[in-house]
Structure 1
Amino acid sequence: MSIPSLRYVFLGLSITSSWGTGHATTYRALLRALHARGHSLLFLERDLPSHERHRDLPRPPYAEVALYKSTEELRDRFVGAIKEADLVVIGSSMADGADIGSWVLDEARGKVAFYDLDTPVTLRKLALGDHRYLTPRLINRYALYLSFTGGPTLSLLERKYGAPRARPLYCSVDPEVYHPEPSDSRWDLGYLGTYVDDRQPVLDRLLLESARRFRRGRFAVAGTQYPPTIAWPENVHRIEHLPPPEHRSFYNAQRFTLNVTRCDMVETGWSPSVRLFEAAACGTPILTDPWPGLESFFQPGREILLVRSTDDVVRRLRETFDSERLALAQRARQRVFAEHTSAHRAEALERYTLEVLDESSRARMKLGASAPQTVCSEP
């Protein structure tokens, strides 16, 4: 069956800058895949000073991108695009996201979705009464709640918050960007991620303490916003910022890569990091802290290895044979290509969009059929 070309408008934290946020990587992969499927794409982004200084993709070739300085400018310049879109997607973590969402819902003629790339954090904020980028009332108005988190959270969003349709839209990987390449193993274990308070104790235990214990090992940590007070072991190489075009070479230079999950994501579960899919696509074996729902994405012991302590990490680094390590990585890579590429996510979003548009069409037809008919009698 031929799929119609759809008009999408995204309003998100950023697609032009990956500085201090993983949202850009997710949006880039998704929009590139949507473009490949023939859809029309506009991404609207707030022109923030932090992004202006670190724009590593100012003009994506697969989507139109427009910047705006204020909510007022957004309303003045882009109301036409909002009205004409088949689906407008409002992303999470925008400081003025609640105001923007309310305005879009009032103006859109098509459907409006909320894309939550921070679902566990969002739910915590809602519980605390922090409604800057999402309010309980808006959840009920969005035709789609697209969630970075799956599992029981989807039912919670519908049952407790009244989301008409909560659907998973996990992060993904673009296999044209992330793939194996010949490289010497510069590091025994590497980690890629922005500094976060609640993640740092786990990183300390699994990587920094492992580096102190395994002095002959070579380690690397890439990411922004780490405080100057951290005492990095001498055998840990620090990379302040690693733009997405350099991610592939970073993964390919590691014997193992480490995934560390934020506390909210561990508590909620079913919240895979994009780093898992990127590393697996590059054929890099993964060590990860455990969290509920992980087995829905990778099979522990066969496609990914669980580590809970410094001893676990050091033992894996010292005792894993190369043949075992490479076989593990190959199985994870096959899993990602079968289920977790950006093409899979674009197809899912396309399917969700057609569902809500078709439902709306059926509702209008039903309403028209049940409307009272006016009978004109001849004089």
Structure 2
Amino acid sequence: MKIAFYGSSLLSAYWNGAATYYRGLLRALAAKGYDITFYEPDVYDRQANRDIDPPDWCKVVVYEGTVDALKAVTAEAATADVVVKTSGVGFEDALLLQEVLRHARSDALKIFWDVDAPATLAEMRADAGHPLRAALARLDLVLTYGGGDPVVNAYRGMGARDCIPIYNGLDPQTHHPVAKDNRFTAELGFLGNRLPDREARVEQFFLEPAARLPQQTFLLGGSGWHDKPMSPNVTYLGHVPTRDHNAFNVTPKAVLNISRVSMAENGLSPATRVFEAAGAGACLITDYWEGIELFLEPGEEVLVARDGRDVVEALASLSAERAAAIGRKALARVLAEHTYDTRAETVDAIFSRHAASRRELAE
């Protein structure tokens, strides 16, 4: 089957946390024989900050950030058996959805793939005329990268025919154990861009514990934190390219995952960072969110903190030996149960089931 996939960016993770998710899933689907073209706009300096070359398993079409260019690439949806429009593409999202649906064949499987369901659902609740809400009846399926029953039920309640979560996972070709790198030596590292929905939790779970542990060293990576007040024991690195993520994860004694507020409240929304860290064999400390035990076992494969005090206590009692043991167990778990190959099995079954249903209706 041929897939036309309209997303933010496959080539650049710059201000684009979904890149790891897209790469892992689409590579695994390509291995199953899917012919995939990824369409991404040239916006937000992403093309100037590419961290991978165009892959051999997926054709990538980069189009200018203009309406004419958008209309030209959406016309190519007519050639695909599966047409995907994701959330947060970043340029004329409403028009992109409209044009994709206008050009998609009547027999094509039409999907909205939501990589930020809490934010999308909040927008639709606030606006009865939201373009996506109006388009749900024309879509065959909504897929999301996180969320359990609350997300599924909300989408169905707004008119989606079906909604199925396809969780983040591990791409072992990209995230795996490497040698430690002295650039990233610290007791605790955190990697994440500065976002309004995350900033207060970064203060609570990372910056405040750093201030309370002045003898320990902390490492902050990600864009946007340059003017954020922080204690002298925090080293700020700025944007950390994907090629350095493995070393960033394995070198500190532990690394921290901090969910955005909406993701934490929704639950069942493991960030890509969870699997990146586990895949590198890192000792991960994560803020609490409902459903963590479905992915990693608290206390054995991951340490869970409900507030900054828990982070301080975890670091105070964490030996290098225990940190290494947690990392080994986490790596074994994600390799066994949470790779993108596993996720692709689910997606392939969904695509095949819908294709069979369409054939039955046509007969």
TM range (shorter): over 0.9
- Whether the 8 Å CA contact 1:71–1:100 is kept in 2: the answer is no
Tell me the CA shift for residue 279 of structure 1: 0.2
Distance 1:16 1:198 in 2: 25
**Is 1:112 matched up with 2:110?**
yes
Pick closer, same or farther for the CA change 1:72–1:166 going to 2, 3 Å.
same
Distance in 2 of aligned mates of 1:259 and 1:233:
20
Partner of 1:100: 96
Which structure is larger by alpha-carbon Rg, 1 or 2?
1
Is 1:125 matched up with 2:120?
no
Moved more, 70-79 or 10-19: 70-79
CA change 1:154–1:358 in 2 (3 A) is: farther
Match runs of 1:31-180 below 5 Å: 31-69=26-64, 70-79=66-75, 81-94=76-89, 95-109=91-105, 110-129=108-127, 134-180=131-177
The number of residue pairs the alignment matches comes to 357
- Per-residue CA deviations over 1:258-316 (Å, capped at 9, x if unaligned) read 11111111221111100000000111111111112222222222221111233322221
Change (3 A) 1:105 1:184: closer
* Contact 2:139 2:161 survives alignment (8 Å): yes
- Cα 1:201–1:157 change in 2 (3 A) is closer
1:157 to 1:355, Cα distance in 2 relative to 1, 3 A: farther
Aligned AA for 1:285? C
Alignment of 1:240-319 (within 5 A): 240-319=238-317
Kept after mapping to 2: 8 A contact 1:125/1:131:
no
Q: Secondary structure at the match of 1:100?
A: helix
Partner of 2:191: 192
Partner of 1:3 in structure 2?
none
Change (3 A) 1:19 1:296: same
Q: Cα deviations across residues 210-252 of structure 1 (Å, max 9, x unaligned)? A: 2222122111010002251x22221111111111111111101
- TM-score norm. by structure 1 comes to 0.89
Residue number among 15, 22, 25 corresponding to 1:30 in the alignment: 25
In structure 2, distance between residues paired with 1:130 and 1:255: 48
SS of match in other structure, 1:167: strand
Please state how far the C-alpha of 1:58 moved relative to its aligned partner.
Answer: 4.5
Alignment deviations for residues 92-126 of structure 1 (CA, whole Å, 9 cap, x no partner) = 01342222222222321211111100001111111
Distance 1:91 1:56 in 2: 21
Of all paired residues, the percent bearing the same amino acid is 32
Are the aligned partners of 2:226 and 2:238 in contact in 1 as well (CA < 8 Å)?
Answer: no
Q: CA deviation at 1:149?
A: 1.9
**Letter of the structure 1 residue corresponding to residue 57 of structure 2:** Y
Q: Which moved more, 1:273-282 or 1:235-244?
A: 235-244
In structure 2, what is the equivalent of residue 372 of structure 1?
none
Instruction: Evaluate the alpha carbon distance shift between residue 314 and residue 276 of structure 1 in structure 2; reply closer, same or farther with a 3 A threshold.
Output: same
1:239 matched residue in structure 2: 237
CA distance in 2, matches of 1:295, 1:276: 12
Counterpart in the other structure of 1:11: 6
Q: Which amino acid is 1:246 matched to?
A: D
Runs of 5+ consecutive residues of structure 2 not aligned to the other structure: none
How far residue 322 of structure 1 moved from its aligned partner, in angstroms, is: 3.0
1:142/1:164 contact within 8 Å kept = yes
Q: Which residue of 2 aligns with 1:368?
A: none
Q: Which moved more, 1:304-313 or 1:258-267?
A: 304-313
In angstroms, what is the RMSD of aligned CA positions? 1.9
**Deviation for aligned residue 1:323:** 3.2
State the secondary structure of the residue aligned to 1:127: helix
- Cα deviation digits, residues 74-95 of structure 1 (max 9, x gap): 333552x311211011110134
SS of match in other structure, 1:88: strand
- 3-state DSSP class of the match of 1:50? coil
Alignment partners' CA distance in 2, 1:42 and 1:155? 28
Deviation by residue 1:118-165 (Cα, 9 ceiling, x = unmatched): 001111111121877x52121222112011123113431453112112
Cα distance in 1 between the residues matched to 2:237 and 2:352? 43
Please tell me whether the aligned partners of residues 181 and 248 of structure 2 are also in contact (alpha carbons under 8 angstroms).
Answer: no
> In structure 2, what is the Cα distance between the partners aligned to 1:49 and 1:255?
34
